[in-house]
Structure 1
Amino acid sequence: MSSDMSSTDQPTIVLVHGAWADASNWSGVIDRLLGDGYPVRAIPNPLRSLPGDAASVRAFLETLPGPVVLTGHSYGGAVITNAAAGLPNVRALVYVNAFALDEGESALEAAGPDSHLSNPDPTQVFDFVPDGPPGPTTDLYLKRPTVFASFATGLDDDEKAKVYATQRPGAFGGLADKSGTPAWKTIPSWYLIGSGDKIIPPDVQRAMAERAGAHVTEFDEGHLGLISDPKTTTRVIEQAARS
């Protein structure tokens, strides 16, 4: 970025995290975006219900002056798909190992049978809080083996342990809720696919990206590629911002 370019020349980059995460997942990306002069807001995703989470993000977007590049990771992709529909200030969508759902789809369904979240016995993947059969408000926590073998591949064991320790649960309802009208039908999109993703398999991501007509980049990372390779993640977001 040239030294005479101020942050007011740039769109605001809004970053939306997914389930079992918080805004700190974007730390490496935030450092790079700020260094390149972009205004950045990494906002909380409530992780309660897809309509409610999208409404929360949309309300925030409506307070921002000027253009926005809206970026979602994982379940955050489902949220931005719903939050941005019809908003004129959102100029680009960026999906990072994320759900670019169509109307009527849910995240759990879209992940498909090859996802490591898909198991005939969900108690092998999740801890339920409160214990017992899950309802819409039941909190789902990832079991430690799920984090280490599937969710946080590409990170070292200390980083995996931190991901497990600090995870924010997703309510079962949010992951099972049906998506509404997708923003990617009217807003240009970019898609960063992790070829080693065990949560949203690469073939599932490619199909969603193709359906959305997205500009596609692939990197050899797992589901938390935004942490393991923030440089590539930032590059794709900035491609969208410059468009």
Structure 2
Amino acid sequence: MNRTRVATAAAAAVTTLALVAAGPASAAAGRAARPDQATAHPHHTRPTIVLVHGAWADGSSWDAVTRRLRHEGYDVRIAPDPLRGVATDTAALKAYLSTVKGPVVLVGHSYGGIVISNAATGNKNVKSLVYVDAYIPDTGETLTELTGAEDGSALNVPDPGTVFDFVPIPDSGGDVDLYVKPELFPKIFAGGVDAHEAAALAAAQRPLAASALEEPSGAPAWKSIPSWALIGTADRVLPPAEQSKLAERAHARTVKIDAPHLSMVAEPDAVTEVITDAARH
């Protein structure tokens, strides 16, 4: 063995002995210094994405977006929204969020925007709010007030019986569940979506308690948490003009797309992109 090879072997042996003598901490530091090791698990700090559906929908409305987010490596949760009223639904989401560890991106569609605005207040784990064709209320505002603030909502009619079917809620003191008439649902919520899929969405809709329409919102989280907003310019539930005003008031980063109220069904790629933008920030 020549002198060069002897010297190289000796140097390697000394380095190994030094790491062993210094213990596991120094060995770990040595591994972390290698670029391939330092970047081997880049997704550990990614936030959990919690999706909240709106009224007249359920968690399946997020299916296409969920698949895309999971494909990109995100942990995705779909929180149940009872649709019983602002206070009840807020309490339910707060309880759910208390079980999610680490940073969270909280996403609400439609009425779900009211729920996330209330439930995220004071929750330090929620790093971003994303509003998808959603209500972004301030303290004291109601669904009815915001829906009718601008012209264009197919739900803002003189006679609610022309749009909704009413089902009594037992032991509620006279409250009723509101169902959008199945024959109107595709046109109002899902314009441009395949007719068979739109009909299936109408059949699977979950009702909103009528009392929720007049229940005031509480202190909103968007005043302290960065927000994003996606606005479907073909929305016939919450007029795009009103969505734009609400998003501007919340200083939300805003994206507009040609989509109906159920934009996550009609344009899941665009919705996913907005959510991942919020997650990266």
User: Please, what TM-score do these two structures have when normalized by structure 1?
Assistant: 0.94
Identify unmatched segments of 5+ residues in structure 2. 1-38
Match of 1:21 among 57, 66, 71: 57
Match of 1:196 among 225, 234, 242: 234
Q: CA deviation at 1:65?
A: 1.2
In structure 2, the residue matched to 1:50 is 86
1:57-206 paired onto structure 2 within 5 Å: 57-112=93-148, 113-130=151-168, 137-206=175-244
Contact persistence 1:13–1:71 (CA under 8 A): yes
Q: Give the structure with the larger helix fraction.
A: 2
What is the number of residues matched between the two proteins? 239
Match of 2:245 among 207, 211, 235: 207
**Aligned residue type for 2:155:** L
In structure 2, the residue matched to 1:234 is 272
C-alpha distance 156-85 of structure 1, shift in aligned 2 (>3 A): same
Cα separation, 2, equivalents of 1:223 and 1:83: 23
RMSD: 1.6
| Seq. identity, % | 50
Q: CA deviation at 1:114?
A: 2.5
Cα separation, 2, equivalents of 1:135 and 1:127: 18
Relative contact order (alpha carbons < 8 A, sep ≥ 6): 1 or 2 greater? Answer: 1
Greater Cα radius of gyration, structure 1 or 2: 2
Q: CA deviation at 1:6?
A: 5.3
Cα separation, 2, equivalents of 1:182 and 1:97: 17
Q: CA deviation at 1:128?
A: 0.4
Contact persistence 1:69–1:94 (CA under 8 A): yes
User: Please, what TM-score do these two structures have when normalized by structure 2?
Assistant: 0.82
Compare 156-165 and 69-78 and name the one that shifted more.
156-165
Match of 1:8 among 40, 44, 66: 44
Contact persistence 2:168–2:175 (CA under 8 A): no
